[in-house]
Amino acid sequence: MSVTTAAYATGNLPGGTVDAVVIGGGAAGLNGALMLARSRRSVVVIDSGTPRNAPAKGVHGLLGLDGTPPAELYKRGREEVRHYGGLIVSGEVISAEPAAPSADGDLRFTVTLADGSALTARRLLVATGLRDVLPEVPGLAEHWGHGVVHCPYCHGWEVRDKPIGILAIGSASVHHALLFRQLTDDLIYFTRGTELDDDTRARFAARNIRIVDTPVEEVVKADDGGIAGVRLADGQVVARRVLAVATFMQARTEGLDGLGLPMEDVPGGMGRRFASGMAGTTDVPGVWVAGNATDLTAQVGPSAAAGALACAHINAHLAAADTDAAAADTDAAVAAAESGTATA
């Protein structure tokens, strides 16, 4: 270990080189850090405190923890990481970039925070998550995470049997509609200028999904603060209590340009993510990615699992590097001894 885990109990930033810095304190980042800390690795998590699911009342589809409020889940996760010696730092990363390697050739990275403090790490896990970009419909954004939902698996049970409207953004919304139809008999599909072929219209009709082609002007608020419906361009208000939107999902990349991580578009125009291979490997040696930053549709459970897998690989790489360094030191010591004997 480059920095002893005992130094982490104080909560102060370590001054030496840590084994790993995890950028992002959500499910992927915390579970990855937990794996590293339990392997007696010095690990620092940089947490901006702005998780994607902050507006949600509870996480769902997570065995044994279904319905747990996100804030409570992350609080438990931080406590668990700290229990094993990990450090959680509240802050924003403004730059992360490769640094000069160590004397034995091992990788190094410099991570700088908004307050000017900096860390040196041997390996990085990027678990920054994503941002959901909503369609520009007046009144829509204020209901995000409550009356406006995006995932039938995350929120579907909670909105079952309610009058639901699909605000289409493209072909992905067709699939969205079929999934939400499983949850309610009262579903309306607002095309919003997107194309629906005759076959899709026929399939919607077979499932009693009403189609509205008139443009949507705004979301109308109810007296209780929720959604009353949507106002169309012709002035008609179509009553709805829930609106489902397939958002454009954008991996959070702030402060990471210096790493040169490759990005890629998601098929169907649904978003943009960090490109990754098995276990979150990237084209940049020493950097892994996990969670929604690379798997845009992953829920909390898969994101946490991805973080654990990535950091198991990080630990294995560190173990190999430690062994290489120890073997090199041994060889050097033997060579020095043999040289001294020959000289004598």
Distance, CA of 240 to CA of 210 (rounded, Å): 13
Contact 156, 253 (CB under 8 A): no
Top CATH class of 135-244 equals alpha beta
Say if residue 15 is exposed, middle or buried (CB neighbours under 10 Å; 0-12, 13-18, 19+): exposed
Local structure of residue 247 (DSSP, 8 states)? P
The CB density around residue 64, as the number of other CB atoms within 10 Å, is 5
Where does 106-161 have alpha helices with state H? 152-155
| Class (C level, CATH) for 5-131+248-334 | alpha beta
**Angle separating helix axes 27-38 and 70-83, nearest 10 degrees:** 20
pLDDT at position 344: 56
Alpha-helix runs per DSSP H in the chain: 27-38, 70-83, 152-155, 172-181, 198-206, 300-343
Provide the angle, in degrees to the nearest 10, between the axes of the packed helices 300-343 and 27-38: 40
**From the CA atom positions of the chain, what is the Rg in Å?**
25
Alpha helices, H only, 45-104: 70-83
Q: How far is CA 108 from the centre of its chain?
A: 24
Contact 119, 21 (CB under 8 A): yes
For every one of its 344 residues, what pLDDT tens digit does the chain have, with 9 covering 90 and above? 444 433 333 346 777 899 999 999 999 999 999 999 999 999 999 999 988 888 888 899 998 999 999 999 999 999 999 999 999 999 999 999 999 999 999 999 999 999 999 999 999 999 999 999 999 999 999 999 899 999 999 989 999 999 999 999 998 999 999 999 999 999 999 999 999 999 999 999 999 999 999 999 999 999 999 999 999 999 999 999 999 999 999 999 999 999 999 999 998 788 999 999 999 999 999 999 999 999 999 999 999 999 999 999 999 999 999 999 999 888 777 777 777 666 55
Cβ atoms of residues 78 and 25 within 8 Å: yes
In this prediction, residue 125 carries a pLDDT of 98
Quote the CA–CA distance of 151 and 136 in Å, as a whole number.
19
120 backbone dihedrals φ, ψ, rounded to 5°: -115, 130
Residues of the chain with CATH 3.50.50.60: 5-131+248-334, 135-244
Which two structure tokens, joined as six digits, stand for 154?
């995350």
Paired tokens of 73: 């889940």
Task: Please provide residue 60's backbone torsions phi and psi, each rounded to the nearest 5 degrees.
Answer: -135, 160
Residue 243 pairs in a beta bridge with 148, 165
What are the C-alpha distances in Å from 137 to residues 3, 216, 223, 228? Answer: 51, 8, 20, 15
Rounded Cα distance, 159 and 155, in Å: 7
Residue 49: closest CA among 21, 84, 78: 78
Q: Name the phi and psi angles at 326, rounded to 5.
A: -65, -40
| DSSP type of residue 275 | -
